[in-house]
Amino acid sequence: MAEVILENITKSFGKTEVVHNVSAHFHDGEFIVIVGPSGCGKSTVLRMIAGLEEVSGGNIKIGDKLVNNLEPKDRRIAMVFQNYALYPHMNVYNNMAYGLRLQKHSKVEIERRVQEAAQLLQLGEYLQRRPRQLSGGQRQRVAMGRALVRKPEVFLFDEPLSNLDAKLRHQMRVELKKMHKNLGTTMIYVTHDQVEAMTLADKIVVVNKGRIEQIGSPDEIYNAPASMFVAGFIGCPPMNFLPAQHSNGGLSLENGFIIPAKDLLIPSDTRQLIVGIRPEKIEFSHLQRESGWLEVDIDFIEKLGSGKLLYTTIGPQQLILSMANGDDRHITRGWIRFPAEALYFFSHQDGSLLKVKSS
């Protein structure tokens, strides 16, 4: 078991730099999820930790050993791939045993470890099968088994669940979390799915365009996003963003509505800014309200079963409201309010979070 430290990692392919100056400290036993849109460089970071890509600059340490120039096999890591990468011509047993044989473990030891992993993953009856005779979920387990038998200090997962159907994905997510609890080994998990990030992680790393946008616990990331990107990427449906301007007594939206701002402590030197609010934080009323409430037309409603989403527009901007079930009347209009404590303010220029002045 070990901690993983990234110090100013960069990666260039030819002249294009795809990972810029990434630094992070992952503690021993943590479940780290690196999340970001496709092509953001998150897989590259993982593959550099694995040793499958060389770093162009910076240092990677696994358990205070500098591993920059170590071969993957010597880094005491194990990896699970998106397409599983099982050896198609070997049966399940040999798929798991192959690495151990190359490490020159004794036959008895190999047998013991493979049986142990097979039992943990309920693969016992499939040991003699070839990968193509297995279902997607079973292949996934074999891939995990192959990682498990190595008894690595760090597990690396590269979008391991994205080839599974929704139901199986949920099931494997739970099992993965259980496995982490049992083993207590450091795990680094790459995904583009923010739900996986929120549910699995002890610590989330949000990556965008080759840079780290934010590192934090799921709660921190959700409640205190460091930028518009993080706020928009984490959460489903995503946070609403509305361009606004300072005006007397508040913030003026594009349709002229003014959010009362006497109790808002925003920096007044920024005239233009972007207001963010989570869909579930917007208050809604069927009844006509007075000041501070905005009358809107409801364009349509998406029923989710457990709740519903209301779609409306403010000027050219779409606004999504998330509500519990209840009043099932056909709603075509209503009044909404933005509670001051639920608002986030982002820079118009670079999308960074604007600090609220402490009063």
Out of 29, 57, 72, 136, which residue is the one contacting another protein (CB under 8 A)? 72
Out of 59, 82, 247, 347, which residue is the one contacting another protein (CB under 8 A)? 82
Out of 24, 52, 301, 320, which residue is the one contacting another protein (CB under 8 A)? 52
Edge-to-edge strand order for the sheet containing 4-13? 16-26, 4-13, 57-62, 65-66
**How far apart are alpha carbons 276 and 313 in whole angstroms?**
15
Contact 201, 218 (CB under 8 A): yes
The piece of 2-10, 86-94, 207-215, 219-227 that touches another protein (CB under 8 A) is 86-94
Smallest gap from Cβ 169 to another protein, in A, equals 19
Out of 85, 168, 264, 309, which residue is the one contacting another protein (CB under 8 A)? 85
Out of 34, 35, 45, 50, which residue is the one contacting another protein (CB under 8 A)? 50
Out of 83, 128, 255, 288, which residue is the one contacting another protein (CB under 8 A)? 83
> In angstroms, what CA-CA distances link 156 with 87, 148, 218, 219?
19, 11, 19, 23
Q: Estimate the crossing angle of helix 166-183 against helix 136-148, to 10 degrees.
A: 20
Residue 354 CB contacts under 8 Å (≥ 6 apart), including other chains:
266, 267, 270, 273, 345, 346, 347
Decide: is 300 part of the binding site for another protein (CB under 8 A): no
Supply the DSSP symbol for 162.
T
Residue 88 CB contacts under 8 Å (≥ 6 apart), including other chains:
130, 131, 132
Smallest gap from Cβ 85 to another protein, in A, equals 3
Judged by CB, which is closer to another protein: 141, or 146? Answer: 146
> In angstroms, what CA-CA distances link 322 with 197, 238, 337?
21, 10, 13
Alpha-carbon 177 to chain mean position: 15
The piece of 31-39, 66-74, 263-271, 283-291 that touches another protein (CB under 8 A) is 66-74
Decide: is 103 part of the binding site for another protein (CB under 8 A): yes
Decide: is 14 part of the binding site for another protein (CB under 8 A): no
Judged by CB, which is closer to another protein: 98, or 311? Answer: 98
**How far apart are alpha carbons 219 and 199 in whole angstroms?**
11
Out of 102, 108, 166, 287, which residue is the one contacting another protein (CB under 8 A)? 102
Out of 27, 65, 89, 107, which residue is the one contacting another protein (CB under 8 A)? 89
Judged by CB, which is closer to another protein: 152, or 250? Answer: 152
β-pair partners for 324: 307
Q: What is the DSSP string of 262-323?
A: TT----TT--EEEEEE-GGGSEEESS---TT-EEEE--EEEE-SSEEEEEEEETTEEEEEEE
Decide: is 65 part of the binding site for another protein (CB under 8 A): no
Out of 24, 81, 129, 331, which residue is the one contacting another protein (CB under 8 A)? 81
Smallest gap from Cβ 156 to another protein, in A, equals 9
Out of 87, 119, 174, 332, which residue is the one contacting another protein (CB under 8 A)? 87
Decide: is 73 part of the binding site for another protein (CB under 8 A): yes
Out of 14, 15, 38, 88, which residue is the one contacting another protein (CB under 8 A)? 88
What the block records as the tokens of 171 is: 């099931």
Decide: is 128 part of the binding site for another protein (CB under 8 A): no
Torsion of CA 23, 24, 25, 31, to 10 degrees: -150
Decide: is 154 part of the binding site for another protein (CB under 8 A): no
Smallest gap from Cβ 309 to another protein, in A, equals 38
Judged by CB, which is closer to another protein: 42, or 47? Answer: 47
Decide: is 98 part of the binding site for another protein (CB under 8 A): yes
Residues that bind another protein (CB under 8 A): 47, 50-52, 71-73, 77-79, 81-89, 98-99, 102-103, 146
